Amino acid sequence: MPLSPISRRRLMATSAAAFAAAGALSPLKALAQTSKAQALDVMKKASRFMVEKAAYKGGYVWSYLPDFSRRWGEMEAFPTMIWVQPPGTGTVGHVFLDAYHATGDEYYYDAACKAADALISIQNPAGGWNYIGDLAGEASLKKWYDTIGKNGWRLEEFQHYYGNCTFDDEGTAECCKFMLRMYVEKKDPKYKAAFDKALKFVLESQYPVGGWPQRYPLKDEFHHHGNPDYTSFITFNDDVVGENIEFLIMVYQALGDKTVLEPIRRAMDCYVACQQPAPQAGWGLQHTVADLKPAGARTYEPKAFATHASASCVSQLLTFYQLTGDPKYLARVPEALAWLDSVRLPDDVMPGKARYPTFIQIGTNKPLYVHRTGSNVVNGRYYVDENPEKTVTHYSSFRNVDVAGLRARYEKLKATPPEEASKHSPLKGTRPLPKYFMVKDLSVDDLTVGGDLSSSATKRVSADPAKVAKLTAELNAEGWWPTPLTQTSQPYIGDGPATPTPGDFSETKVGDKYDTSPYPDPHPAIGISTGAFIANMATLIKFVDA
């Protein structure tokens, strides 16, 4: 029985970019069969461009204008900055290691080393990573936070400089896994030192109850819009706990390090400890450390239950039963599913929207909806109420939750004896890391011991020859795939005024001209996409491997 994924987020951005790239490709009258030699040439040409033209000292952001006059990660970046959040520098490093495994060409290993070296240069002394780094130094990074970051209205996590590390958005987890791979590859002491530092960081930052804060080391001096800083709370949002579990399992698999087994079990138990009593047997995005109750985070993430996070926690509990065979992980799943059933919106309420309110009020079980007023970060504010009309569009107040699918999986596992459910658990033995990390989204299934590995990334998978032919034909003379840059942002022009700009910004993705938040570009520029590069390289790797 295959294990379910701990994470499916790494390729979300790359997949979106790949679809955008596909839209940019003009139809070809005829698609000639691409040879393996041609595919290898395309891989090398595209990689040379990224390494020698797009990278800054080995590091990458998410997208670039063709003349490199502007560049972006989640927000616009300085030319000296590199991005950590996927699909950033670590993700590019992963695809270069994949290319090395597919071809044996040392160029790709050297390219992966350059990415790893860039990440080591911005690794926090504590051992983890921030969303971003600036190779011009801390003063330049602080300037970015005081200008572009500070004025991103909806991106509150970038509005001031913490000087520590984040587990949010897979940034630290992606880098930890990449450093593990780099060390395992050739046992280079430089990468062992970086990996050891990262592993120590993950273990030291774990709370006794098993969860992790969003940021670490903790910074008591910060307050968030007048509230206690939320980054110290136990974080389930964006699968922080699950990503760290996956990394620690990989450490055990690759190195046989049994010291990570107790932290793994403690992390799994955190889900049990934080599940609230019936009838609201769910979870919040974050929980306080003192009493394990749901907590608020950003101003559009109120203190409440979160339906999508609760569904993710249920899925994790089911996976933990498959990892351990321990029935305690199944024990309260029915209560959580019953609670999710109880908050589903009637079909006549906001028809056309997804059926589960994102946030549910503690105690009343009523939906909470997120709104905003004003025009920029200076004069604007977010608030929640019970009115489902005119909610913010950048953070949906409505979610799709597959309760039926979770219930079916639960029933199947409940009928499966513990020893059968966990017989291929990666906690029962070691094996090499998967050959590829980017040709599919990895799950703990790819680490299973023995048994049927037919869905594993280690199994050869074929690529669509027509798609490979199109990628071969559409790589331009410079070595990049022309891709619509579907997101853009307004350049920083200074802090916004205290008086709102006339207009209704309650449902827009961006505020007035002072808001540096990214937003969908109605007339996308054609440019260079790191995500498209990663996705296209993965397709070519599958082709040459087959």
132-148 pLDDT per residue, tens: 999 999 999 999 999 99
Q: Which of 46, 62, 15, 17 is nearest to 484 (CA)?
A: 17
Task: Could you list the beta-strand ranges (E) of 107-197.
Answer: 132-134, 165-166
Task: Could you list the beta-strand ranges (E) of 16-126.
Answer: 63-64, 71-72, 81-83
Characterise 256 by phi-psi region: left (phi > 0), alpha (psi -120 to 50), beta (else). left
Report the C-alpha gap between 293 and 290 in whole angstroms.
Answer: 8
Domains of the chain: 12-545 (1.50.10.20)
Other Cβ atoms less than 10 A from the Cβ of 520: the count is 11
Q: Which two tokens stand for residue 353?
A: 């929207």
285's CB contacts (< 8 A; 6+ apart) are 235, 236, 237, 294, 297, 301, 306, 309
For the chain, what's the residue count? 546
Quote the DSSP letter at residue 226: T
Quick check: 421 and 325 in contact, CB under 8 A?
A: yes
Using DSSP, how many helices (H) and how many strands (E) does the chain show?
15, 19
- pLDDT of residue 19 exceeding 90, the answer is no
- The interaxial angle of helices 333-342 and 403-414, nearest 10 deg, is 160
At residue 512, the pLDDT reads 98
Handedness of CA 438, 440, 446, 451 (dihedral sign): negative
Quick check: 210 and 266 in contact, CB under 8 A?
A: yes
- Host H or E run for residue 113: helix 106-122
At residue 5, the pLDDT reads 54
320-331: pLDDT as tens digits: 999 999 999 999
Q: Which of 48, 60, 36 is nearest to 119 (CA)?
A: 60
Q: What is the pTM of this model?
A: 0.94
Task: Could you list the beta-strand ranges (E) of 187-287.
Answer: 215-216, 223-224, 227-228, 234-235, 286-287
166-214: pLDDT as tens digits: 999 999 999 999 999 999 999 999 999 999 999 999 999 999 999 999 9
**Higher-confidence position of 369 and 14:** 369
At residue 32, the pLDDT reads 65
Phi and psi dihedrals of 257, rounded to 5?
A: -80, 100
Quote the DSSP letter at residue 38: H
> Average pLDDT of 389-394?
98
- Output the average pLDDT for the chain: 92
Q: Determine what percent of the chain is predicted with pLDDT higher than 90.
A: 87
SS3 120: helix
Q: Which residues of 424-452 are buried (b: 16+ CB within 10 A; e: fewer)?
A: bbbbeeebebbbbbbbbbbbbbbbbeeee
> Average pLDDT of 296-320?
97
Q: Which two tokens stand for residue 164?
A: 């520590």
